[in-house]
Amino acid sequence: MSLRITHLGTGSRGNSTLLETDDVKVLIDLGFSGAQLQKRLAMLNIEPEDIDCALLSHHHGDHGGGATIAQRKWDMQILANERTAQELDLDPLKTSYFGALDVIRIGDELSILTVPVPHSGSENVAFVASCGGERAAIITDLGSWTDELIKHVYGCEHISIEANYDDRKLSAGPYPYSLKERIRGRGGHLSNSQTGQFLAEVSTESTRNIVLTHLSEKNNSPHLAESTVLYYISEVFDGDIYISLQDGPEMTHYIGASGLENLTPTKLNEVKID
């Protein structure tokens, strides 16, 4: 009984993460074009038709832009909250709706909790998946966090969370002042140091893997994200940190491990997308 977590790619040009148990395949977010999604899944020997359903965090194009295509082309069943479904104009016949703090059961082993997070002009949610007595949190696009989020993510074995920008790079970078302010605001994105502060509150000795996602290509870099986050969590976190960039899939992580081999992430061979 284990859950396999593979980031197909994360960033402002598209996000999608695959969750697999022995009986179901679920996508979190559909931010790639149909062709890109198909290509990335094919690297894992999966067809879009093999996907049981997709859950959307919010309606922004880099998370939901591929949703209507997936419904039209592959009859994909999509789960979203009403606001997200409405903004994306999803096909009601192929859409199921969830509310805040709902527990969604998919297949025999997987359940997923929806936790609202603040993100401007959207009703964004983080997902906490449970399988085999362990939990994985998938959190992205939030300007700040709530006590509720801390409560549900505390002690998760796996945490994927955005580390969007480096404070200094954003300040010195090319974006207009108003956009910089929007990114920094409560409804924007998390900086590397905010992500570090959040992780310092929720990481425990149970936390094995942290994956930093949705790094800004202009205002961040992998080594800045990793070193800043480590600065905040080195006292509480003893596991491994990984980065998911725009190209993927790169690595598969496991929770609810049924055997020792499942404790180590699997690196895929030379998978790169133009």
The answer to whether 60 contacts Zn ion (rule: CB under 5 A) is yes
Give the span between the Cα atoms of 153 and 236, in whole angstroms.
Answer: 15
Least separation in angstroms between CB 80 and Zn ion: 14
Give me the residues paired with residue 86 across strands.
none
Number of residues engaging Zn ion in binding (CB under 5 A): 3
For Zn ion, which stretch binds (CB under 5 A), given 22-30, 54-62, 96-104, 239-247?
Answer: 54-62
Q: What angle do CA 125, 126, 129 make, to 5 degrees?
A: 130
Nearer to Zn ion, 62 or 157 (CB): 62
Closest CA to 81 of 69, 61, 64, 105: 64
Of 11-50, binders to Zn ion (CB under 5 A) are none
Minimum distance, C-beta of residue 10 to Zn ion, in the bound complex (Å): 8
Segment contacting Zn ion by CB under 5 A, of 37-45, 141-149, 163-171, 247-255: 141-149
User: Is 11 or 265 the residue whose CB approaches Zn ion more closely?
Assistant: 11
Strands 110-117 and 103-106: antiparallel
Tell me if 59 contacts Zn ion by CB under 5 A: no
Does the footprint of Zn ion cover residue 141 (CB under 5 A)? yes
Q: Is 7 in the site for Zn ion (CB under 5 A)?
A: no
Q: Among 20, 62, 166, 250, which residue sits at the site for Zn ion (rule: CB under 5 A)?
A: 62
Query: Closest separation between CB of residue 98 and Zn ion, Å?
Result: 18
Residue 29: which of 121, 131, 112, 144 has the closest Cα?
Answer: 112
Residue of 39, 45, 37 lying closest to 67 (CA atoms): 37
Q: How far is residue 100's CA from residue 93's CA, in Å, rounded to a whole number? A: 21
CB of 63 to Zn ion, least distance (A): 6
Exposed (0-12), middle (13-18) or buried (19+): which is 139, by Cβ within 10 Å?
buried
Instruction: State the residues that interact with Zn ion by CB under 5 A.
Output: 60, 62, 141
